Amino acid sequence: MTLNSINQGLQYITYGLYILTVADAEHKNGMILNTVFQVTAQPPRVAVSVNKNSLTHEILLRTRCFAAMPLDTTADLPFIGNFGFRTGRTFDKFARVNFTTEKTGCPIITQHTLSYMEANVQLTLDVGTHTLFVGEVTNAGVLNEAGTALTYDYYHHVIKGKVPAGATHQF
């Protein structure tokens, strides 16, 4: 079995696409990711998997809090690319994006998103190229009840999105 055939097989796992945001005193950053999942109901906890090479990872290790928002199908490639194809080290991802802040101070993107959840990290697990962060949800809300969740499959087959060479993560 080759790595290529393994990667092809993994493409059929169902995923949503999300924006993960973080903030500290000097920076706010966000990225697209496909790994956000609920791990417990009481207390409510979610896990996110973040590439170690990203600025988001650096800030998350320091602050130990994040916000995650599922994207809806109104998100177009330029919007997704703003968070998915550029680094926050050299580009202000929030310059042309509507957002607010709540309890954690992490940006909550209010366009092309369905809901938000803010979490404080309770546990980290080194999984190689990524770190799995498990956070207790401290605040959440609905932003667009009428929207439809943007899936990885929809991204590839309808939006026709691809991951560019040099991206720090595969989504």
Residue range 87-111, pLDDT digits in tens: 889 899 999 999 999 999 999 999 9
Structure confidence at residue 87 (pLDDT) = 87
Give the separation between CA 45 and CA 128, rounded to whole angstroms.
Answer: 22
So what's the pLDDT on residue 161? 64
Reported as a pLDDT band with limits 50, 70 and 90, residue 153 is: confident
Q: Which CATH number fits domain 14-157: 3.40.50.300, 2.30.110.10, 2.40.30.10, 2.60.40.10?
A: 2.30.110.10
Please indicate, yes or no, whether the overall pTM of this predicted structure exceeds 0.85: yes
5 has a pLDDT exceeding 60: yes
What is the per-residue pLDDT for 12? 79
Domain ranges within the chain, ordered by starting residue:
14-157
Q: Do you find a cis peptide bond into 43, omega within 30 degrees of 0?
A: yes
The CA–CA distances, whole Å, from 88 to 17, 29, 61 equal: 19, 6, 16
Tell me what pLDDT residue 1 has: 63
Whether residue 163 has pLDDT greater than 60: no
